[in-house]
Amino acid sequence: MNKNSFNFLDRIDSLNKNQTQLFDLIVIGGGITGAGILLDASSRGLNTLLLEKKDFASGTSGRSTKLIHGGLRYLKEFEFSLVRKVGKERAIVFNNAPHLIVPQKLLLPIYKNGTFKKWQLSIALKLYDWLAGVKKNERKKIFNFNKTILKEPTLNKEGLVGAGFYSEYRTDDARLTLEIIKTAINFNAEAYNYLEVRTIKKSNNIFHVKAYDTVNNISFEFKSKQLVNASGPWTDDIRKKNNSISKEKICLSKGVHIVLKHENLPIKNPVYFDTLDKRMCFAIPRNNCTYVGTTDTLYEKSEKKEPTPNIKDITYILDSVNSCFDVPKLKLNNVISSWTGLRPLILEEGKKTSEISRKDELIIAQNKMISIAGGKLTGYRLMAKKVVDLIVNNLDRSEKCYTSEIKISGSKNINQENVNEVKIRLREKLAEIEIHSNELDYLFHNYGSQLTKIITLLKTNRYNTIVEAEAHFCIMEENLYYPLDFFLRRTSKLYYSPEKIEEEIILVTPIFSKLLNLNSDEIKLLINQLLAYKKRLTNFNDD
Ligand SMILES: Cc1cc2nc3c(=O)[nH]c(=O)nc-3n(C[C@H](O)[C@H](O)[C@H](O)COP(=O)(O)OP(=O)(O)OC[C@H]3O[C@@H](n4cnc5c(N)ncnc54)[C@H](O)[C@@H]3O)c2cc1C
């Protein structure tokens, strides 16, 4: 394995060099789907380039519920094969990225007239565990009223019958995407953010892909034998650029999450609860917060590019929380942050978005560009395998997929059994440099084994705070250019600790300025961009 650099320092040189190559494969889109394909293809020895128009995971893959799950609700739609497939996949993803995937027990309260009766839930969870091959000691439990209240005292007791308690996994979707891309870089893959694909042509069996570098305002043209469109909500737009669209294939559904201070919704476990209109929502404790979501409403493609929540979305979630939990009534001003994602779903005429299957689908154009859409974060590896098997075949090659065995960047020397031991060692290392971090959990799950690099940076660069060393690490090793991307997708601080941003931006901007050679006007612009985005996360409109 050979490590390419993954930062903005030699970007133009490396882009120029890549213009002269003929790639086996170009992947459009740096969400989880594109990232998985990049890793699968490069680990099989394919010379692969990924182009992302904004930041990695800036589309749907940074805006999900952040669960690696089989999708219990899909049992209601009799999607047994989907549940089996992604359910089994959870264990593989956990094994490959044990620092990023956190096992969680979810509590599903049962109410009179709720989605599930006790016997139904018992059968559904048994089937769910069986389909996903859950280990015996981790299988579901069904609680009576008293045990349920003991487990989750915040629940509304009126009409409560009991609860189901079952296994899922939590992750950080944006970091998972990024670490998969970093793992692919170690297999000689090339990946660029802020490089927007503008035109696609094919001649003499070669794809010519023109992309625009929005940081440096320069166009580049790359060549490849195979082309994959993994652009999620933008799948049809890329198909149009390829002149390969007879009719639209994708419809979009908007999903909003809100973030509350944990003290305002002090749940002890993640809870999967009924909404007022008989859908289901997650409430998930994380850091010092609880996040809740999601909505599921049709999103017209003609709407604004950056999806935002409106007051109706927020009220819908708050009303459902207020009806399920016995806590002081939550209002709009309790929302400290939010995110809004768009599900790219395969159009099914006459169905509501919530009824459309979450299965993935391949669309192969006449000129052989492969589009892949639909699917789940959890099933990214299997989707990648399906696409790369096809590409390897098209290239008359025979390399087999082995991503089930590839450890994801940040998981060096970490496995499912030693997570706590590793955390203790890292805590001692932080204490050695007199940093008694109460943020160890966050740091471990964000960076895994790479935290030792951050600690070394703290020592060698004489930084006084962890956030400075984090910024240095992300600029040098995670292709970070914008402070907004640091606070949003590299660290999630904009979501879970927005109150710290003003203070921390002052600490980190000198590092951006020094390492990326930015002048004070450029820095001012980037700070304003960050603060404007932060404001939007709690500024809800009426439309
Ligand atoms: C609210 C919500 C909650 C969800 N929760 C879960 C969950 O808990 N668990 C789960 O397993 N799944 C979940 N999902 C589903 C999952 O998030 C998506 O299936 C997945 O993230 C889709 O990834 P993608 O890579 O296909 O698309 P995206 O992540 O959107 O990636 C596509 C990328 O293509 C880029 N792009 C577009 N046009 C161009 C261009 N011209 N040039 C270059 N790049 C371009 C975009 O910028 C974008 O980054 C959820 C989805 C939503 C909306």
Does the beta carbon of 168 sit less than 6 angstroms from any atom of ligand 1?
Answer: no
Give 543 Cα–ligand 1 centroid separation in angstroms: 24
Higher-pLDDT residue of 170 and 69 is 170
Beta-strand ranges (E) seen in 17-159 are 22-28, 48-51, 67-68, 102-111, 141-144
Whether 172 contacts 286, CB under 8 Å: no
Count of helices and strands (H, E) across the chain: 17, 18
How do residues 274-286 score in pLDDT, each as one tens digit?
999 889 999 999 9
Does the beta carbon of 196 sit less than 6 angstroms from any atom of ligand 1?
Answer: yes
Does the beta carbon of 341 sit less than 6 angstroms from any atom of ligand 1?
Answer: yes
Burial track 427-453 (b if 16+ CB lie within 10 A, e otherwise): bebbeeeebebeebebbbbbbbbbbee
Atom of ligand 1 nearest to the CA of 377: 11
| Structure tokens given for 525 | 């612009």
CA distances from 28 to 236, 353, 438 (A): 12, 25, 39
Does the beta carbon of 29 sit less than 6 angstroms from any atom of ligand 1?
Answer: yes
Give 234 Cα–ligand 1 centroid separation in angstroms: 10
* Residues 396, 459 share a domain: no
Give the Cα separation of 173 and 285 in Å (integer): 16
* Residues 336, 259 share a domain: yes
Residue 245 confidence (pLDDT): 76
Residue 329 confidence class, pLDDT cut points 50, 70, 90: very high
- Evaluate whether residue 273 is within a structural domain: yes
Residue 3 confidence (pLDDT): 55
How do residues 51-92 score in pLDDT, each as one tens digit?
999 999 999 999 999 999 877 777 777 778 878 888 889 989
Give 30 Cα–ligand 1 centroid separation in angstroms: 9
Residue 1 confidence (pLDDT): 41
Residue 104 confidence (pLDDT): 93
Give 383 Cα–ligand 1 centroid separation in angstroms: 13
Residue 421 confidence (pLDDT): 93
Does the beta carbon of 360 sit less than 6 angstroms from any atom of ligand 1?
Answer: no
* Residues 388, 303 share a domain: no
Give the Cα separation of 54 and 62 in Å (integer): 12
DSSP 456: H
Residue 2 confidence (pLDDT): 43
Atom of ligand 1 nearest to the CA of 66: 8
Does the beta carbon of 376 sit less than 6 angstroms from any atom of ligand 1?
Answer: yes
Atom of ligand 1 nearest to the CA of 54: 47
Residue to mutate, 27, 53, 56, 64, ligand 1, most ligand atoms under 8 Å from C-beta: 64
| Structure tokens given for 430 | 């932080």
Q: What is the mean pLDDT of residues 368-388?
A: 94
Residue 203 confidence (pLDDT): 96
pTM value is: 0.96
Does the beta carbon of 242 sit less than 6 angstroms from any atom of ligand 1?
Answer: no
Does the beta carbon of 371 sit less than 6 angstroms from any atom of ligand 1?
Answer: no
234 pLDDT exceeds 80? yes
Give the Cα separation of 368 and 205 in Å (integer): 10
Going by DSSP bridges, is the β-strand pair 250-261/335-346 parallel, antiparallel, or unpaired?
antiparallel
Nearest alpha carbon, ligand 1 atom 2: 64
- Evaluate whether residue 74 is within a structural domain: no
Residue 304 confidence (pLDDT): 57
Nearest alpha carbon, ligand 1 atom 35: 29
Secondary structure (DSSP) of 235-259: HHHHHHHTT--SS--EEEEEEEEEE
Does the beta carbon of 233 sit less than 6 angstroms from any atom of ligand 1?
Answer: yes
Give 492 Cα–ligand 1 centroid separation in angstroms: 17
How do residues 177-233 score in pLDDT, each as one tens digit?
999 999 999 999 999 999 999 999 999 999 999 999 999 999 999 999 999 999 999
Give 375 Cα–ligand 1 centroid separation in angstroms: 9
Whether 337 contacts 538, CB under 8 Å: yes
| Domain CATH code at residue 423 | 1.10.8.870
- Evaluate whether residue 83 is within a structural domain: no
* Residues 523, 424 share a domain: yes
Residue 157 confidence (pLDDT): 96
- Evaluate whether residue 321 is within a structural domain: yes
Mean per-residue pLDDT over the chain, rounded: 93
How do residues 136-160 score in pLDDT, each as one tens digit?
888 899 999 999 999 999 999 999 9
| Structure tokens given for 50 | 């990924």
CB contact set of 60 (below 8 Å; sequence gap of 6+): 31, 232, 233, 341, 342, 343, 344
Whether 367 contacts 245, CB under 8 Å: no
Tell me which residue range forms the domain holding 310.
Answer: 97-172+251-355
- Evaluate whether residue 90 is within a structural domain: no
Give the Cα separation of 26 and 304 in Å (integer): 28
- Evaluate whether residue 370 is within a structural domain: yes
Higher-pLDDT residue of 21 and 462 is 21
| Structure tokens given for 391 | 């590409």
Domain end, chosen from 336, 370, 405, is at 405
Give 75 Cα–ligand 1 centroid separation in angstroms: 23
- Evaluate whether residue 525 is within a structural domain: yes
Residue 302 confidence (pLDDT): 66
| Domain CATH code at residue 400 | 3.50.50.60
DSSP 305: S
Residue 221 confidence (pLDDT): 98
| Domain CATH code at residue 265 | 3.30.9.10
CB contact set of 460 (below 8 Å; sequence gap of 6+): none
* Residues 289, 212 share a domain: no
Q: What is the mean pLDDT of residues 335-349?
A: 90
Give 517 Cα–ligand 1 centroid separation in angstroms: 32
* Residues 369, 275 share a domain: no
Nearest alpha carbon, ligand 1 atom 21: 61
- Evaluate whether residue 129 is within a structural domain: yes
Whether 213 contacts 15, CB under 8 Å: yes
Percent of the chain with pLDDT over 70: 98
- What's the total number of domains in the chain? 3
* Residues 395, 326 share a domain: no
* Residues 342, 274 share a domain: yes
Amino acid of residue 112: K
* Residues 232, 365 share a domain: yes
* Residues 351, 255 share a domain: yes
Query: Taking each helix axis from N to C terminus, what angle separates 501-516 and 520-536, rounded to the nearest 10 degrees?
Result: 140
DSSP 310: B
Give the Cα separation of 106 and 121 in Å (integer): 13
Task: Kindly report the three-state secondary structure assignment for every residue of 198-211.
Answer: EEEEEECCEEEEEE
Residue 438 confidence class, pLDDT cut points 50, 70, 90: confident
Domain end, chosen from 319, 337, 355, is at 355
* Residues 523, 474 share a domain: yes
Give 239 Cα–ligand 1 centroid separation in angstroms: 17
* Residues 291, 161 share a domain: yes
